[in-house]
Chain A
Amino acid sequence: MNFLDYAAAPESTALLRLRPSYGLFIDGEFVDGSGAPFATINPATEKAIAEIAHADASDVDRAVAAARRAYEKTWSRMSGADRGKYLFRIARLVQERARELAVAESLDNGKPIKESRDVDVPLVAAWLFYYAGWADKLDHAGWGASPRALGVAAQVIPWNFPLLMLAWKIAPALAAGNTVVLKPAETTSLTALIFAEILQQADLPPGVVNIVTGAGETGAALVGHPDVDKVAFTGSTAVGRAIARSTAGTHKKLTLELGGKAANIVFDDAPIDQAIEGIVNGIFFNQGHVCCAGSRLLVQENIHDDVVERLKQRLSTLRLGDPLDKNTDIGAINSREQLDRIRELSAIGEQEGAERWSADCAIPDNGFWFAPTIFTNVSTSHRIARDEIFGPVLSVLTFRTPAEAIVKANNTPYGLSAGVWSDKGSKALAVADRLRAGVVWTNTFNRFDPASPFGGYKESGYGREGGRHGLGAYLTTAPVVARKSSAQ
């Protein structure tokens, strides 16, 4: 037999208790949406998983009103210690239901179960635990004496890490004393709604967290709502720009975590086997659906051929397929729309003269899939070296000197993350110092931790999530001003 064709090892879906349809979560209850419900599908099979309610502007209005009531009547009057206790409770419940959440995430998103199980869900719990402890220590967070919550936070999150992005948003917001209306991405609402069930189990006061599902217009209604005090968005730079325009001149505090085109710089003195792993993890983790993905490999010219050969060999061992199989490395692309974009940009890469290589893996008949792909002979002027592809596609460029590497790495309107690989600490840190990016991983890549601030320079957005800095997005020390009543 062929050992490497590991026998199927599917994670059981028996522990899922999915409902056929999910309502909006407003004021502690699941309620019907006013828009036409839509199906959320499994991107690996294209089969429907459940029906999701569609919130229109009136639903958003109700959710914001519930959040406002909860803020004024309950949450802003509660002690920080008690807010923290709720967050601790929620964190524990997430741990207890971790496997169920991981399975639901892989089902709905298409990401491999090993990632949802070992990365996403543990980080969700960690994020909640971390910020739970801050709730009664805000005076010590460095954002001024007696900082105050902003009020109602409108939060819009993407489909690549559905539950993790929810935790990144909700945990600091609640710890700081805000109430929340959150909109998950249209294609990945499921785990947010299971999370709403967890909030019920935790007995979180009604209205403190509200979840409205729907598409772009639901999100626009939410961030445009006059009675929200804070807008937090993670997603594309184009939408982020539109939100920045729409909140201009308002009292809304805005943080944006947007796109990226990170350089992963590999010097000739890199620990080579770990660098190869880091390149793979940098761009093929979560099918490359990662805003901080290391999508531009900048490799020192004298080791280019060796690195590319090693990389191809390594990619040949990646296993693409059923996201619920415990041995799957590369899952499904989240949606047909995203698959089309990846295909289009890859086709452009070929037209522009870059050399395409894809791992030879069997593509399932149904679902959305894209084999791990490398482009070599890429120039800085190629679109695949400039546009965010948000898929498992790596562009390989070369450099000759550290200075050239820095210039090429910084030559992008984005500035979210970067990687540096060298066994020479002095050089690695000096290069890290000069990179214009919010997160620089040296001799590692795509590591996340609730204690570690994350966020971009330039067009990758502003504000930080994670760590003490992440609280700053949800606090103010400005004098109290009478809020203009907007819902007269």
Chain B
Amino acid sequence: MTIATPVALAPAERALSLIGGDLTEKSLRLHLEGLSGVDGVGLEQRAAGLATRSIKTTSKAWALDTIIRLIDLTTLEGADTPGKVRSLVAKAISPDPSDMSTPRVAAVCVYGDMVPDAVVALGALHSAGTDSGINVAAVATAFPSGRASLAIKIADTRAAVSAGADEIDMVIDRGAFLAGNFGRVFDQIVAVKEACRRTDGSSAHLKVILETGELTTYDNVRRASWLAILAGGDFIKTSTGKVAPAATLPVTLLMLEVVRDWHRLTGETIGVKPAGGIRTSKDAIKYLVTVAETVGEQWLQPHLFRFGASSLLNDVLLQRQKLTTGHYSGPDYVTVD
């Protein structure tokens, strides 16, 4: 073994303040490997315990509306068309045409090249960086595999941002992570974060997709979460939805614990987005409980928590109709988009 020359990393602000001035591949590795380990059995038991909470009546009504407000309504298909995106946006704007008191979703999430269609469809309802309206989120950086050169990832990101994306959902280079090249993953996130910057100096929000199903171990998830935050991510997101398992409650709990620890350490708030596989209200409520009891219910706001989902919305609407009318509803009473 030889002693390599320290490889300097991009001077991301958070990493500099936490790890120190001479930020290198080695110092980053030592930092990440110094994190507490995760015992999978205990983590899964804690998640299972949280999942037994019984959310009834007024709490349930609030939870259902909150879930809707936190949804990134998503279509990420090779077959996506302008028509499909327009339909998705219409659903995002008025999820339940039979009940106009239904809240709107937080954002629509599409491939980068569909951003212009989403922006047009939203029209005045495009929040475009304001707190009202609906955001446009775009997946970028050679989603879902992330197997492309950095230049392409940056170009991908810039194109989406300049087309009007408010949020960028990037994927990390899992291959680099699993090969132990933490610095490479780090530098890429820093570069993509930079590419999120608009000409007016403002920035699209950056969600960093860890693809936890490919990282496999909880220790890896904890390190990758921490790494993504150090590199400047605004959100950490579980999955692309293209790999199984996608979001699970234990993985989301673990990422929330990282976010909680980061907050304890720095006072900074980081968002969490479980994505993929959450299809029922019952499941989504378990996530709300997990957020509330792990980081606090102030996290149950669109700038700090999102569900990446498509079919979830209709199940929530069915449950909502049941609460309103007192009887069970059926799939013909909610719209397909």
Contacts and interface: CB of A to CB of B under 8 A. Distances in A.
B103 to A, nearest CB: 14
A277 B59 contact: no
Contact of A271 (B42, B53, B288, B293): B42
A6 B45 contact: no
B53 A443 contact: no
B55 A274 contact: no
A246 interface: no
A342 B254 CA distance: 35
A327 interface: yes
A69 B295 CA distance: 62
B58 A7 contact: yes
Given A2-B297, A271-B36, A423-B37, A7 B60 contact: yes
B231 interface: no
Contacts of B4: none
Given A6-B55, A9-B54, A9-B56, A274 B39 contact: yes
Contacts of A423: 36-37, 39
Interface in A251-299: 269-275, 277-278
B39 A3 contact: no
Q: What are the 9 A-B residue pairs with the smallest beta carbon separation, nearest first?
A: A274-B42, A9-B54, A423-B37, A326-B54, A271-B39, A7-B59, A272-B36, A274-B39, A7-B57
Interface in A3-56: 3-9
Contacts of A443: 39, 41-42
Interface string B123-135: 0000000000000
A273 B300 contact: no
B325 interface: no
B300 A3 contact: yes
A229 to B, nearest CB: 41
B63 A3 contact: yes
Nearest to A329: B49
A272 B38 CA distance: 7
A3 B36 contact: no
Contacts of B37: 269-271, 423
Contacts of A2: 297
Interface of B: 36-39, 41-43, 45-46, 52-60, 62-63, 66, 254, 257, 288, 292-293, 297, 300
Nearest to B58: A7
Contacts of A317: 293
A114 interface: yes
27 contacts: A2-B297, A3-B297, A4-B293, A5-B59, A6-B59, A7-B55, A7-B56, A7-B57, A7-B58, A7-B59, A8-B56, A9-B55, A9-B56, A269-B37, A270-B36, A271-B38, A271-B39, A273-B46, A274-B41, A274-B43, A275-B42, A326-B52, A326-B53, A423-B36, A443-B39, A443-B42, A444-B42
B292 A4 contact: yes
B107 to A, nearest CB: 22
B52 A118 contact: yes
Contacts of A9: 54-56
Interface string A447-466: 00000000000000000000
B60 A114 contact: no
A238 interface: no
A8 B59 CA distance: 9
B94 to A, nearest CB: 24
A478 interface: no
Contacts of A6: 53-56, 59
A274 B37 CA distance: 9
B60 A3 contact: no
A270 B42 CA distance: 12
Given A4-B292, A444-B42, A273 B36 contact: yes
Contacts of B257: 273
Contacts of B62: 1, 3
A353 B319 CA distance: 54
A272 B257 CA distance: 11
Interface in A397-448: 423, 443-444
B46 A274 contact: yes
Nearest to B52: A114
Nearest to B291: A3
Contacts of B54: 6, 9, 326-327
Contacts of A444: 41-42
Given A5-B59, A8-B56, A275-B42, 10 more contacts: A1-B58, A1-B62, A4-B293, A114-B52, A270-B36, A274-B46, A277-B42, A277-B45, A327-B54, A423-B36
Nearest to A303: B36
A277 B52 CA distance: 16
B288 to A, nearest CB: 7
A293 to B, nearest CB: 18
Most-contacted residue by chain B among A1, A271, A277, A444 (CB, 10 A): A271
A420 to B, nearest CB: 12
Nearest to B294: A317
B286 to A, nearest CB: 13
Contact of A4 (B52, B60, B297): B297
A278 B292 CA distance: 20
Nearest to B218: A271
Contacts of B42: 271, 273-275, 277-278, 443-444
A156 B58 CA distance: 46
A351 to B, nearest CB: 33
A2 B66 CA distance: 12
Contacts of B292: 3-4
A9 B285 CA distance: 15
